[in-house]
Amino acid sequence: MSGSSSTIISIREARQKRLKKKANLAGIVTEFSFPRKSAGTDYVSILKIVDESEMHEELSVHMFSDRIEDLPLVQSYKDFIILYHVMIKEYENRPCAICNKQYSSYALFDVNSNTPNYTPYQASRGFVLLEQDTGYVPRMWQVSRYHDMGAGNSEYIVSMKNLAANQHFDLICKVLHVQEASRNRWMFFVWDGNDAPPLSLDTKYKDSEIPLGIEPVPLARHIICQFPCVGTVLRVTVDQGLKDIGLHFKGIGKWVKFRNIRCEEHSGLWHGLFLPSSRIRFLSENDDSVLQCKRTIDERETMEEGFLPTWSTPLPNLTVVDYPSLPTSTLMDFLTNSEEV
């Protein structure tokens, strides 16, 4: 535990006593945005953090830098951050912390180790962990390991089976793949086990070529073969001029909560959009919202008609097949089949 000489104060104290003053903070990162261009000349990203004093009321931290690569990129669930000389201000009638490139510094620490790691995986230029604050590394490591961070507010969560065009919503999903769609424009391939509603295609075959996907270049077969065979794989585009963001993103294969994204129709296909106000929240495999998705997936895999889209009606009893003993397959089953057809 840190001693009384530590320069770091609690989030509660920062809110109550340090308004319009600088403070040193330490907190678990619950949510983050991708870096983007600010209204001025800098780049900005926003983190949400909690600590022992405020486990259920997050503090927003606005990070500013003149170089996009200097902004934090959180790697995993419950990583923690140490912040030096951040200004506590009011923004939209709520206290927040401002990390300024001129006088502030930060360091991100990994909690996925058996013992506390005093070496940050990312730190701003000029960050030096003060000797009297070293006790905060094992302290935050312990808090991270023994306190679960939930999915947060569920008011705006929508599953893929209930997607609607031009609606802002939150999505609990698993990130299957990330690839660059064009220069500094990245595409996330996400899935929650449900099927998105069908869309109509308002065009004639002779008028134009009908696209088979949102991505400009078809995915390699070895990538498609890793995708689930049941449920929609939604394409979500991050179009914020982010160089190499997909290469540094460590969430592939993890369950996340996308906050405040939007969907639109694109040539009969669903297309998700990551907005400047959107956020990402890493989730635990044992989070209630994740377990609910997994239960839905397990039920579909065990049900005889689980291969059918979740929006479809059951097969009529009049349907007759020549080989009733054979399992029913989806198109993805054929696309991912290793045997030559």
On whether both 120 and 164 belong to a single domain, the answer is: no
104 and 195 housed in the same domain:
no
**pLDDT band for position 82 (cuts 50, 70, 90):** very high
pLDDT tens-digit series, residues 31-59: 999 988 888 889 999 999 999 998 889 99
Same-domain pairing of 172 and 290: yes
Q: Would you call 77 helix, strand, or coil by DSSP?
A: coil
Q: What is the DSSP letter of 211?
A: P
Distance (Å) of CA 327 to CA 84, 257, 295, 315, 333? 60, 34, 21, 14, 11
Residue 93 lies in a domain: yes
Inform me whether the pLDDT recorded for 313 exceeds 80.
no
- Other CB atoms within 10 A of residue 207 CB: 8
Identify whether 325 is part of a domain: no
Asked whether residue 20 is assigned to any structural domain, the reply reads: yes
Write the pLDDT tens digit of every residue in 224-276.
889 998 899 999 999 766 667 777 788 999 999 999 999 999 878 899 999 99
**Structural domains of the chain, count:** 2
Q: What integer pLDDT is reported at residue 9 of this predicted model? A: 96
pLDDT for the residue 114:
83
pLDDT of 4 higher than 60: no
pLDDT in tens, 94-130: 999 999 989 999 999 998 888 899 999 999 999 999 9
What confidence category does residue 315 fall into, taking pLDDT thresholds of 50, 70 and 90?
low
Both 42 and 128 in one domain: the answer is: yes
Structure confidence at residue 92 (pLDDT): 87
Query: In the prediction, which pLDDT does 341 show?
Result: 46
Nearby residues of 218 by Cβ (< 8 Å), 6 or more positions away: 212
Contacts of 159 (CB under 8 A, 6+ apart): 171, 172, 192, 194
Q: Is the pLDDT of residue 331 over 70?
A: yes
Claim to verify: residue 128 and residue 220 sit in the same structural domain: no
The answer to whether residues 193 and 116 belong to one domain is no
**CATH at residue 98:** 2.40.50.140
Above 70 in pLDDT, residue 27? yes
Q: Mean pLDDT lowest for which of 157-166, 264-273, 327-336?
A: 327-336
pLDDT digits (tens, 9 = 90+) for 174-223: 999 999 888 778 999 999 999 999 887 766 655 556 566 778 788 888 89
Final residue before a domain boundary, out of 146, 178, 205: 146
Query: Considering the domain boundaries, does residue 311 fall inside one?
Result: no
In a domain, 258, yes or no: yes
Position 185 in a domain? yes
Q: Is residue 137 domain-shared with residue 19, that is, in the same domain?
A: yes
Domain boundary among 92, 113, 146: 146
> Which residue range(s) make up the domain with 246?
160-302
- Which of 113, 146, 179 is at the close of a domain? 146
In a domain, 314, yes or no: no
Q: Residue 69 has what pLDDT? A: 87
Per-residue pLDDT, 304: 65
Q: How far apart are CA 102 and CA 63, in angstroms?
A: 11
Please check whether residue 85 lies inside any domain of the structure. Answer: yes
Residues 112 and 225 in one domain: no
Assess whether 180 and 287 both reside in one domain: yes
Q: What average pLDDT score do residues 83-87 get? A: 98
- Give yes or no for residue 2 having a pLDDT over 50: no
Q: Which two tokens stand for residue 197?
A: 């509603």
One domain for residues 291 and 226:
yes
Considering the domain architecture, whether residues 177 and 75 belong to the same structural domain is answered as: no
Does residue 125 share a domain with residue 31? yes
